[in-house]
Structures are given as structure tokens and as C-alpha cells.
Amino acid sequence: MDNRVIIDADVLWEESFEKILELLENKRYFQARDELLKFNAVDIAYMLEDITEETDIDMTIILFRLLPKDVSAEVFSELSTDNQVEIVNVITDKEIDFILQELDFDDKIDILEELPANMVDRILEKTPKNERKLINTFLNYPDNSAGSLMTPDYISLRKEWNVAQALEHIKEVGMDAETIYTCYVRDNGRKLLGIVSLSTLVISSDDTKIMNIMRTDYVYENVFDDQEDVSEDFKKYGFLALPVVDNEHRLVGIITVDDILDVMEEEATEDIERMNGVIDFENSDKGYLDKSVMQHALNRLPWLVILMVAYVFTGMLITGFEGRLSEIICLVAYMPMLMGTGGNTGSQAATLIIRGLATDEVDTSDVFKILWKEVRIGALLGAVLSIINFGRIIWLDGNDYSVALTVCLAMLFIVIFAKVLGSMVPLLVKKLNLDPALIANPAISSVSDIVALSIYFVMAMVILGL
């Protein structure tokens, strides 16, 4: 029991890592390998990534080739694409063969999707014909569809079997199935009839017929369903795996919950980026550091250019008001505050509504409830901010009461307007069946900029008689 590695303990990890680096420097590769093998496959992959960063890819390749064959396949599937490519480039065909044999089907698909085309060809050459056909089908499902997430490795039972036969069957094929915790009952035409969990099998008596314990009120996905909807179902029902069927209700694969964790992270990242004006045109899994400067610039340019156009209007507003502004030039000093507060307060509302829509907490049918809520929130916040500002303008800046009144009334109306704008626009966009996150916070702040200036200037005309 003493060789149990406390994986949680970052200290232990760091110690081992330093030790491995030192061993590698002294070319004591086998000892480094043994130290590495104290960890599980996921951790070994993480370590190899760090080793590549600290030293170079050669060290990683040496260590990788020293790993026992059964470990190396799992480690391979956890490595970054860059490192996978490097490794596929140098290892022998026999080694590739072995890794491919050992990989789960959906890991294989993931890797093939990321590798360059010539690598994919090299790998497909070594794949038996019928598996190659299956791989090609899977590679053709659209990105982000249920089909692209699923694995064909599942346990399939027949409804006329009894529990003992089912358990026997699981023992025979079980090793290759990604998850055996839910088994699927199909008819002769591969149509899905029901599901049985392994726990039900284990606690049922041996002679119970499958048809009597299978559940028919199961939830399932279609191969073309969007991964976001799939992850909603996992969250809603709390299942470990969901079956995927084609348009004829034939079972074609299953999706397991561990892949959904990644989907949820991806979807949240996409929403967060979109909300703040970054659109990932490549739609890649690449991290920040892996994207080129050009790609980063392209992802960020569209919103900045759209905003540029919006600012032509604020510019025109100011130019139109220029003559009057130069009469009471101190009004200029409060412009950034009014526009900035409008923008931020609008973004706050938009953020809450966009997120609420994403998590199904609010719905477009709640529009009037939300409107009434935001009007009151806006009035409350606007009043508080106006009072603070009134004091500041008179005592700190030493300006007139009339200037203070102009700024503060404008502030009140701007905040209320921005809250309404920020909350209503996402609902409208959703109603049009578009992604609310795409009408990003920058858009809402620039519209509220224009309106804020208009309100301010109208107030100035009314109160200051400009």
C-alpha cells in the first residue's frame, strides 16, 4: 500500500517532476521512466507536456517509447495534438498499430480529427477495412453534433435473454466497451427498445428476463442534435450515458458523461468570448497560446470595426452639439462618466439575461417580468448614483446646481434606459433563434453610448437652455 501516490498533493507532484528533470539531464532515462510510472496515465501525459516545455520534444519521445505498451496508448490519447504529431512522426508502424488497437474508438476519432491529413492517411492504412469504414462515417458527422461525440462501443442485449445470459455476455465483450454501466436492448433491425443499467442487472436474480427489467422511458439523442442540447439533457437528467439514434430510431452509438464535461467547458468558453466581442472563426479546440497572432486579430477585428461605425454616430452627435458645448465646456468633463456608466450597467443586465437564457433560468416568455424588474433596478441604481454625483459636482468640482441637475437627471434616465436595453436585446435575439451571446456587450454599450449622449444633450438643452 505504501507506493500509493497521493495525486492531490501538488507538492509530491512537483518533487517527482523535479526529480524526473534531473534524471533526464543525467541521461538516466529508465529511472525517469520508473518515477513517471508512479502516476496514472492522465498525470503521465500532463508530466510529458511539462517536460516538453521545460526541455524539448526529444525527451518526451524517449520517455514515451520507454513506457509499457498498455500505458503508452492511454497516455498518447491524453497528449496535446502537437505532441501527438511529433510522436506519430517518429515511432514505427508497429508501434502505431499497437496504440491504435488499444485506443477507445471515440479517442481515436478525436485524435484523427485533429491530426494533419497525411497522418490520418498513414493511420487509416493500418486500420482493418470495416473499422476504417466506421471511422470514416464518424469523421463525417458535423462538428459539435451528437454524432461527433459518440462512441460505437456499447453493450447491446436482447430482450429475451435473462440476467445470467446478459452478465455472461458483458463478461465476454465488456473489456472493449467504453462504458458498460448502461446496456442497450435492440431488436433485429438495430432499433432501440430499452435500456438496462448494470446495477439493475447485478441486483436482479439470474433468471429474470431482460424485457421485464428494461426501462422504456429512456431519453435519447439524434445523431444530428447539437452538442449543447445533449449537454442540457445530461444536466437535466443526471445520466452517465445517453444512447444516440439515427432518423429510423436505430441505435448508432452512445455518448458518455465524461465527454460532456469537455463540451460544457467549450460551450461556456464560447459564450464568454462571444459576450465580450471575440468570435472564434476557426471554431477550433486550440488554446490561447496555440492560436497565431493573425488568428487572434481576426477573431477580435469584426466587433471593433462594427463599433467604429457606431462611433461615427456619437461623433456626429457631438459635432452637431459642438457650438453649444463650447459655451458650457465643463459639460464635456461628464461625458465619459455618463457613457461609461450606461455601457457598464447595460452589460450587467445583458450578462445576466444571456446567462439566464443559456442555463434555462429565464425564457423569452418572461419578457414583461424582466422588463418590470430591470426598470425598478435601474431606477434604484440610477437614483443612488445620481445622489452621489450631485454631491461630487457641487462640492468637489464646484459647478452650478443647474449643471449638477442636468448631469444627474441624465444619469438616472441613462441607467434605466441601459438596463432595459441590456435586458431586452438578448431576449429579442433569442426570439429570432440566434445566439444571444453574439449580440455582445460591446454592441449594447455602443448603442447605450449614443442614447446616453442624446439624453445628456436633451437635458442640457431643457435645463441649461443651450
Residue 442 in contact with its own copies, rule: CB under 8 A: yes
Residue list 378-397, contact with its own copies (CB under 8 A)? 380-381, 384-385, 388-389, 392, 396-397
Nearer residue to its own copies within complex by CB, 91 or 274: 274
Closer to its own copies by CB, 31 or 344: give it.
344
Q: Would you say 67 and 102 are in contact if contact means Cβ atoms under 8 Å apart? A: no
What is the rounded CA–CA span in Å between residue 53 and residue 79? 13
Judged by beta carbon, residue 144 or residue 386, the one nearer its own copies is 386
Residue 135 to residue 140: CA distance in whole angstroms: 9
Query: Which region, judged by CB under 8 A, interacts with its own copies, from 33-41, 58-66, 425-433, 455-463?
Result: 33-41
Q: Which of 139, 164, 337, 463 binds its own copies (CB under 8 A)?
A: 337
Residue 44's contacts (CB-CB under 8 Å, 6 or more residues apart) are 36, 37, 67, 71, 75, 78
Q: What share of the chain is helix, strand, coil (3-state, %, to 5)?
A: 70, 10, 25
Q: Using N-to-C axis directions, what is the helix angle for 441-464 and 335-358, rounded to 10°?
A: 140
Least distance CB 137 / its own copies (angstroms)? 22
Residue 263's H or E segment, with its range, is helix 257-275
Among 120, 257, 367, 371, binds its own copies (CB under 8 A): 257
Using CB under 8 A as the binding rule, whether residue 336 contacts its own copies is answered as yes
Nearer to its own copies, 127 or 417 (CB): 417
Q: With respect to its own copies, which residue has the nearer C-beta, 90 or 380? A: 380
Only segment of 20-28, 59-67, 115-123, 362-370 that touches its own copies (CB under 8 A): 362-370
| Residue 193 CB, nearest approach to its own copies (Å) | 6
Closest CA to 382 of 347, 422, 426, 342: 342
- Would you count residue 339 as binding its own copies (CB under 8 A)? yes
> What does the per-residue mask of binding to its own copies show for 123-162, with x meaning CB under 8 A?
----------------------------------------
In terms of phi and psi (left: phi > 0; alpha: psi -120 to 50; beta: otherwise), the region of 225 is beta
* Options 59, 75, 446, 456; binder of its own copies; rule CB under 8 A: 446
Interaction of residue 367 with its own copies, rule CB under 8 A: no
Using CB under 8 A as the binding rule, the residues of this chain from 179 to 218 that contact its own copies are: 180-181, 193-194, 198-199, 202-203, 216-218
Q: Which strand (E) or helix (H) includes residue 155?
A: strand 155-157
**Contact of 177 with 152, CB cutoff 8 Å:** no
Between CA 187 and CA 108 the distance in angstroms is 28
DSSP 8-class letter at 102: H
Q: How far apart are CA 283 and CA 411, in angstroms?
A: 40
- Residue number, 90 or 203, with CB nearest to its own copies: 203
Residue among 388 and 432 whose Cβ is closer to its own copies:
388
Shortest separation between residue 378's beta carbon and its own copies, angstroms: 9
CA atoms within 13 A on the CB side of 96: 21
- Sole binder of its own copies in the list 85, 115, 377, 424 (CB under 8 A): 377
Q: Does 278 bind its own copies (CB under 8 A)?
A: yes
Q: 65 to 104, contacts with its own copies by CB under 8 A?
A: none
Question: Which of 405, 409, 384 has its CA nearest to residue 393?
Answer: 405
CA atoms of 195 and 177, how far apart (whole Å): 16
Facing residues of 17 across strands?
none
Comparing CB distances to its own copies, the nearer of 152 and 442 is 442
